[in-house]
Amino acid sequence: MRRFILAAALAVGAPGMALAQSADELIAGGTDTGNVINYGMSYSAQRYSTLDQINKDNIKTLVPVWAHALESDQSQESQPMVYKGVIYITTENATEAIDAKTGVRKWKTVLEYDPDTYRMTCCGNMNRGVALYDGKVYRTTLDNRLVAYNAETGEELWSGKSAEIKDGYAMTVAPLVANGVVIIGASGAEYGTRGFLDGYDAETGKKLWRTWTVACPGEPGGDTWPAGDACQHGGGSTWLTGTYDPELDTVYWGTGNPGSWNPLVRPGDNLYTSSVLALNPKTGEIKWHYQFTPNDGMDFDGCNEMVLADIPVNGQTRKVILHADRNAFFYVIDRTNGELIAGNAFTLQDWAKGIDMKTGRPILSDVSLKYRDGEMVGTFPGPNGGKNWSPMSFNPTTGLAYVNALAMGFGMKPAIQEWKAGELYFGVEFGPPPATDEPPGSLRAIEPLTGKSVWKADSDVPRYAGVLTTAGGLVFTGQLTGQFEAFDIDTGKKLWEFQTGSGIEGQPITWEADGVQYIAITNGNGGVHTKFGNNPKVQIVPRAGTLWVFALMK
């Protein structure tokens, strides 16, 4: 892979200005309203801001202050980072530093890929953002590298290779820096890879550890896989960024579905797929795990974000993980030990009767049992999930989670498929989806302990954008048809929207500079629903990426 750096239009900051982010800054990131230096806007990934300059009363005067073309027609799912007046943003093949007030580019680096790279990445070519630490900007690449750049100049400092694209691996994940270690994961379950997490020394780029997310026979958890090489192609992708509790010094990371989707060829629970892993960031050691969907056969994954919160449970404050799984159940888990506190459906589903609170396991419905008998079934949710990758927000003042939920079914039947390198490894036959009167998408305000919706805002096009909530009483998200939206946090009433010109799959953020609150979002269709969906309203939307920044009209 050849890299080159475009000459900077301007130097970043004053000469000699230190653009360093310390461990203490990352820990305090959730309360730092002047910067955005954590994926999810804090180590807890709550995507909540205490800023309230933009609020219900004045949201109608929100206007764009500048827009920056990203020069890519791929999916734009990157979360912008902001530090000392500079925005850092990625596309699938570029990283940019941009003046946060003016939109003027300061530097840009571009990656060149072998053409086969784009053929081997499942479900859209994108990158979900950077990590910042100690004056460096870290990103992953589609051909499985972790690259560190100088935050001031864009100069490449080092890179490390984790896997080969020819083996089915690709990287779209935003890195996580925890206790001096840069942690990354990979996609590839649909190509029959064996999933992993890698930890790198943040200063030198030395690889410190690898933790496989699929246990093979002879390893702890390996008895949940059949004998033979099924585990070597067992999936367990790690393509969404984890969270970190500095007090417990524990990283929480979700793992994806097994490969192939056919559960009959891999009897057993198939650890550690479709699970959350609690890990030591220095060593990668698994402290505990909880499996959402044992022997997952419907592409439910467990990759969706692990939001950390301290909430009251039966009169006692508990340190928990909040997780809206693709299997359509909302989980509350004690993050100190993995104990299941609650697990309830939050959107349309018929694959399980519920979660057994004694064992933590799903109680399979007749639909699931027929599927496991080899029958074609129409089921909810389908592989798009009850919620896809788009990250939710937890608002500690309301105690609710704000989730872009889905209600899209799928027809599927187990099928025998031999694994072949470089070929998609689904192991199912697809059939017609079941009918429903439910709209395919809805923004929901959900009670974590019950899964019940306090309100919902339906949409005839599913939403795949991230969600942001603020102390101004607002919920921000976006539509695949281009609208950037703001809702009343108490009622779900839409208060404002702006047509950005391309579908929104990005992650909104907010920060303050010189007394002005800003909101930023990327647009640009090209993700899984654009690639595989057939909604005519989405198919006619232009494919072009832009970073938009908004503030109140002066």
Catalytic residue among 32, 299, 325, 350: 299
Q: What pLDDT sits at residue 505?
A: 96
Question: Residue type for 547, please?
Answer: L
- Fold of the 3-11+33-552 domain: Methanol Dehydrogenase; Chain A (2.140.10)
Q: Is the pLDDT of residue 202 over 60?
A: yes
Percent of the chain with pLDDT over 70: 96
In this prediction, residue 487 has a pLDDT band, given cuts at 50, 70 and 90, of: very high
Structure tokens at 549: 């920044």
- Backbone φ and ψ for 361, nearest 5 degrees, come out as -100, 150
| Distances 278 to 286, 390, 454 between C-alpha atoms, Å | 6, 22, 31
Task: Name the band, by pLDDT with cuts 50, 70 and 90, for residue 115.
Answer: confident
Element of type H or E holding 511: strand 509-513
Q: What is the rounded distance in angstroms from the CA atom of residue 137 to the CA atom of residue 156?
A: 9
pLDDT in tens, 148-182: 999 999 999 999 999 999 999 999 999 999 999 99
Per-residue pLDDT for 383 more than 80? yes
H or E, element range at 4: strand 3-6
Tell me what pLDDT residue 10 has. Answer: 39
Please give the pLDDT value at position 538. 87
Confidence of residue 506 (pLDDT cuts 50, 70, 90): very high
What is residue 19's predicted lDDT score, i.e. its pLDDT?
A: 63
The string of DSSP codes covering 330-389 is: EEEEETTT--EEEEEE-S---SEEEE-TTT--EEE-HHHHHHHTT--EEESS-TT-SS-S
Residue 402 pLDDT greater than 80, yes or no: yes
Q: What does 47-59 look like in DSSP terms, one character per residue?
A: -EE---SS-TTTG
For residue 260, whether the previous peptide bond is cis, meaning omega lies within 30 degrees of 0, is yes
Least confident of 117-131, 357-371, 388-402: 117-131
Q: What is the arithmetic mean of pLDDT over 215-227?
A: 96
**Across the beta sheet with 250-254, what order do the strands follow?**
243-245, 250-254, 275-279, 286-291
CB-based contact 394:383 (threshold 8 Å): no
CA distance 386 to 121: 23
Does residue 188 register a pLDDT over 70? Answer: yes
Q: Are strands 48-49 and 468-470 parallel, antiparallel or unpaired?
A: parallel
Mean pLDDT of 237-244: 98
d(CA 244, CA 347) in angstroms, rounded, equals 28
Torsion from C-alpha of 487, 493, 496, 499, nearest 10 degrees: 90
Beta carbons of 124 and 78 less than 8 angstroms apart: no
Give the residue with greater pLDDT, 357 vs 424.
Answer: 357
pLDDT band for 338, please (50, 70, 90 cuts).
Answer: very high
Q: How does residue 528 score in pLDDT terms, banded at 50, 70 and 90?
A: confident
Mean pLDDT of the chain: 94
Alpha helices in 61-135 (DSSP H): 116-119
Place of tokens 């029959």: 192
CB atoms within 10 A of CB 480: 26
Q: Examine the pLDDT at 478 and tell me if it is beyond 60.
A: yes
Work out the burial of residue 206: count CB atoms within 10 Å of its CB; fewer than 13 is exposed, 13-18 middle, 19 or more buried. Answer: exposed
* Annotated domain spans of the chain: 3-11+33-552
**Cα distances (Å, whole numbers) of residue 536 to 125, 385, 406, 462:** 21, 21, 18, 12
Between 445 and 532, the higher pLDDT residue: 445
Q: What pLDDT is recorded for position 4?
A: 45
Q: Terminus-to-terminus CA distance in the chain, angstroms?
A: 46
Q: Does position 16 have pLDDT exceeding 60, yes or no? A: no
Single-letter code of the amino acid located at 386: G
Mean pLDDT within 525-548: 83
Maximum CA pair distance of the chain?
A: 68
Both structure tokens of 36: 């955005």
Which pLDDT tens digit goes with each residue over 275-329? 999 999 999 999 999 999 999 999 999 999 999 999 999 999 999 999 999 999 9
Check: CB of residue 86 under 8 Å from CB of residue 96. no
> What does the pLDDT read at residue 469?
98
Helix, strand and coil in the chain, % to nearest 5? 10, 40, 55
Answer positive or negative: Cα dihedral of 486, 492, 495, 499: positive
Interatomic CA distance for residues 375 and 353, integer angstroms = 19
Q: Residue 532: which pLDDT band, with cuts at 50, 70 and 90? A: low
Residues pairing with 345 in the sheet: 329
Nearest to residue 510, comparing CAs of 475, 535, 542, 480? 475
- Other beta carbons less than 10 A from residue 334's beta carbon: 16
Please give the structure tokens belonging to residue 440. Answer: 């395919």
- The residue-averaged pLDDT of 377-393 equals 96
pLDDT band at 7 (very low <50, low <70, confident <90, very high): very low
For 418-430, the pLDDT digits (tens) are 999 888 899 999 9
Q: Which residue has the tokens 């019950």?
A: 450
**Region 534-538: what's the mean pLDDT?**
83
Pseudo-torsion of CA 372, 376, 379, 385, nearest 10°? 80
Give the pLDDT confidence score for residue 535 in this predicted structure.
Answer: 81
Confidence tier at 9 by pLDDT (50, 70, 90):
very low
299 is catalytic: yes
